[in-house]
Chain A
Amino acid sequence: MKDTPLSNCERDFLLKAIEEKRRLDGRQTYDYRKIKITFGTDYGCCFVDLGQTRVMAQVSCELVAPKESRPNEGIMFFNLELSPMASPAFEQGRQSELSVKLNRQLERCLRNSKCIDTESLCVVSGEKVWQIRVDVHTLNNDGNLMDAASVAAISALCHFRRPDVGIQGEEVTVYSPEERDPIPLSIYHMPISVSFAFFQQGTYLLVDPCEREERVMDGLLMIAMNKHREICSIQSSGGIMLLKEQVMRCSKIASVKVSEITELINKALLNDKTARKAGGRCGFAESMPQERITALKMDQTSVEMTDVSETVSSIVQTAEAPPQTVPSPLVPVPGVGQIGEGLCNTWGLEEEEEAEEDDGESSGGDSVAEVTKMEKEQHKDDKSRKVDVVEILDSDEEEADVVILYPETTKKAKNIGTGQKGAATSRKQQKK
């Protein structure tokens, strides 16, 4: 799926704003967005939020045979994946140009700088070494994936613990975390990358560009440095011409930023360590704040409560009596039940006059008389029983009706039933 195209007006506005030294989110030129580092339950799992950009790094290890050219050293493997979850522009499976570029930059930043002591990863020279694998997944792209990825990768490496190994002669035993405490990796320094975006042919620069700023930039300069002010990697893309002074200025800014970020990482690692020691809850589930609205939440609305009781009583007095509810089914006629509120059925009353005029009344009347006679008999027989369910088969009606009879309503039913039954039969005969 293609990403939303950038409209001309956005581009013009952004460039104009940058000329006035204004950024979209109100930052200053050299400001970073808020960085948040959290660790997961496993050792070596790290989430980094750089504003809205979110990446996750996971470190894992495996015993493998070493490279033939370097039999004493362990192997570091880096993999950065651009997930479609991060942006509609990223496609699953395809190695886009950006993905290749970011992978290369991450490798140069971490592997070529020799920040990890690979010789300590050797178990049996020439036969078994540890292969440390760092997987970085992008979860949301709001610009500057490179910086977020480098922070996540180095934090995860610092957080990671590898299993302890014991060597006895030729035998190599790998102890599980329960048997022996896992050992942290030996890390010399922490290289962190800082990105600078250039606009208008290098006239203006911004640190930590967000996604929209990245779209309108001319070029990008990435400097990877550690807190000892050693430059681990420099990369310039976009083909812009930079002056020596500009690069020097950028490296000075980078050293300030890197020391701040390194402090942040160390603090986060320390927090995690104390949390684990205290046995507190740490990990993935805890680091996700519940920011969803899962229920309809409304503010309390103020309600006018003055003289409520007087108003209520006046309303109650002036109102009509509530309609009488019929608690049990009322059977005006077999097949018709009535329950609950409501006026009494007036069918019978209106149709009584009509029915008298009709011819078919007599037959209807007879059957009704039968019905009521049956009801009366039932009533006499089963006085003790409260509820009767009697099947009444009428000659006129095709279906068998199951009717619940109550002794109290029998008489009423009789009166109304006469008229209604008559009406029903008269209508039926009219139809015919």
Chain B
Amino acid sequence: MGSNRCCSEYVPAKGETVIGIITAKSGDVFKVDYGGSEQASLSYLAFEGATKRNRPNVQVGDLVFAQFVVANKDMEPELVCIDGSGRANGMGVFGAAGLLIKVSLGLVRRLLAPHSDLRADLEQLFPCELVVGMNGRIWVRAASVQQTLILANLLQSCDTMTAPQRQQLFRRIQMGAL
């Protein structure tokens, strides 16, 4: 969407984890769109347990949770799905049956903050899975399609609410009004 006021462009930074979409497979490298001005590259060896013979099962259009190892203004950004010791540590391909939404960078940081009350409020609602990328992308999955949609819409509207408004809204949902 063009003039979405809440979303500013994400600038990659080394060590930040983001949700990327695989756009192309060229040789040994995947091209990943993370919402920035360029596409990042992700080597097929940068997955846990990947070797030259044992390639990871990654298709174009898949979602990956990866972190930046190279992210400066002079070079093409590079992503990897393993940490320093070679373990996945939660990164890699994911995404079956969930919904990807775009939110503002501020909301994402609020969610990932150490003692975030936004997260505490969300935990009270219903069981769900969330993958939060620092590039403003959130993947949600709940028990049913309706719950996933409710959660997605909640997160997008939480952005511009104050804490009491948000808590009031969450309470209404818990009572089953929506």
Contacts and interface: CB of A to CB of B under 8 A. Distances in A.
Interface of A: 1, 4-13, 16-17, 20, 22, 24-26, 52, 54, 84-88, 139-142, 211, 291-292, 299
A10 B164 CA distance: 32
List the 6 shortest-distance A-B pairs measured between CB atoms, nearest first: A9-B95, A8-B61, A7-B21, A86-B2, A13-B99, A87-B2
Given A9-B139, A85-B3, A16 B145 contact: yes
Interface string B76-90: 000000000000000
A12 B4 CA distance: 25
B75 interface: no
A85 B5 CA distance: 12
Chain A facing B: main interface SS: loop
A421 B58 CA distance: 78
A140 B1 CA distance: 7
B148 A13 contact: yes
B97 A5 contact: no
B95 to A, nearest CB: 4
Nearest to B33: A5
Contacts of B97: 9, 12-13, 16
Number of chain B interface residues as a range: 20 to 34
Contact of A25 (B21, B33, B153): B153
Nearest to B150: A26
Contact of A9 (B3, B37, B63, B153): B63
Given A25-B153, A299-B162, A9 B98 contact: yes
Nearest to A87: B2
Interface in B152-168: 152-153, 162-164
Contact of A8 (B5, B59, B139, B164): B59
B21 A4 contact: yes
Nearest to A16: B145
B2 A5 contact: no
B72 to A, nearest CB: 21
A142 B61 contact: no
Given A24-B152, A141-B2, A291-B5, 13 more contacts: A4-B33, A5-B61, A8-B63, A8-B95, A9-B96, A9-B99, A13-B145, A22-B149, A87-B2, A88-B2, A139-B3, A292-B5, A299-B164
